[in-house]
Amino acid sequence: MHPIAFILTMIGGLNWLLVGLFEKDIFTMLGWDGNIIAKIVYILVGLSALFLISEHKKTCKMCDKGTAPMGGAPKMGM
């Protein structure tokens, strides 16, 4: 499940890059704007992001070692 969620989340991130740079998303560029396929992919990308957030502590090597880059307190002890 993790690899699929990761790929979908990366697609979503790249889509936002296109929106930021060119004010067009992937589906608009493909002519699928408002298409049911586009809506399904958007929903899957969002669900993938939620899944990755919920699984983050289990899979993140930095969090496992206690080196939290986002201001979190490092783990104490060895």
Structural tokens at position 35 = 């298409």
Taking only the tens place, the pLDDT of each residue in 20-72 is: 999 988 888 888 877 898 889 899 999 999 999 998 888 788 876 665 555 55
Question: Is pLDDT at 19 greater than 70 in this prediction?
Answer: yes
pLDDT at 78: 44
- Who wins on pLDDT, 12 or 31? 12
- 20 CB burial (10 A radius; 0-12, 13-18, 19+): exposed
Q: Where are the domains of the chain?
A: 2-65
Structural tokens at position 20 = 């930021």
Question: Is pLDDT at 76 greater than 90 in this prediction?
Answer: no
pLDDT at 64: 66
